[in-house]
Amino acid sequence: MMQGNIQNTKHSEAIPQDRGGPALVQTPWGYRLSAVGAEAGLLRITHAVGRFVGLVLLLIIAGVWSFSANAFADPLIMAMKLGLTGLLFVVGWMLFWYGRDARQVEAQVDLDGCELRIGHRDGLNRFRQETRIPFSDIGSFLILRTNDDPCNAALYARIGSGMDAYEVIEGTEAALEPIQARLVTDLTGERRRRDPKNRRISRVTGNAISLARVSAP
């Protein structure tokens, strides 16, 4: 486990990014962290294809029922028509829903608003926020490995000095280390002093996890 504590000091050092880690995209208000690589790219492609094929199959149903009623006067043909309609509807809807429900985990570091937003992007590339954490609530950033595998790790934002934390992004340990350092740098100094003193930490939501459970062998 690697921990980066937040201090009230100023830093301006730029942290280089690992090419194999999560993508860091600069924005007017801060930056976004999202999964990259062949697996993430393939996932977006398969979801897009699934959404397209599903929509085509649903449109074919309209074509099947647009034929003249006399063409399906035979009971056997009508039964085949109903069976084909049901099959196309089930397969088409499943593919369309699979493509629509494409989720790519994303974290947004809002330096202007002094908050960390965690959520995902759906199949229409819209960000869906699940968790919002003010900078002043974050006590440190931790990197935890799964089964001591450095290629399977996750970065967590620890709330205060307690045992509750939110998962920010996944990646290899080597890729997450510069991101951890960048976050610690960006959450220090003047940005944290903007928050009112002695403000109570926000109530932890259901998306939080216990560090005791995650770090247990």
AA identity, residue 198:
N
- What's the pLDDT score for residue 116? 92
Bridge partners of 110, per DSSP, are: 30, 115
- What's the pLDDT score for residue 189? 61
Question: Tokens standing for 202?
Answer: 């926000």
* 199 has a pLDDT exceeding 60: no
Q: How far is CA 200 from CA 134, 183, 187, 203, in A?
A: 11, 22, 18, 9
Q: Are 162 and 208 in contact (CB under 8 A)?
A: no
- What's the pLDDT score for residue 64? 73
- What's the pLDDT score for residue 40? 55
Span 38-76, pLDDT tens digits: 455 566 677 778 878 888 888 888 777 776 555 556 777
Sign of the CA dihedral running 184, 114, 208, 202: positive
Binned at pLDDT 50, 70 and 90, residue 28 comes out as very high
Question: Tokens standing for 31?
Answer: 């930056």
* 117 has a pLDDT exceeding 90: yes
Span 92-104, pLDDT tens digits: 888 877 776 666 7
Helix, strand, coil distribution of the chain in percent, nearest 5 = 40, 30, 30
Q: Which residue has better confidence, 6 or 83?
A: 83
Q: Are 52 and 102 in contact (CB under 8 A)?
A: no
DSSP E strand boundaries for the chain: 2-5, 23-27, 30-34, 104-110, 115-121, 127-134, 138-146, 149-159, 164-171, 209-210
Q: Quick one: 85 exposed, middle or buried, by C-beta within 10 A (0-12, 13-18, 19+)?
A: middle
pTM greater than 0.85 (yes/no)? no
- What's the pLDDT score for residue 7? 47
- What's the pLDDT score for residue 15? 41
Span 133-187, pLDDT tens digits: 888 888 889 988 776 666 778 899 988 877 888 889 888 888 888 999 989 888 8
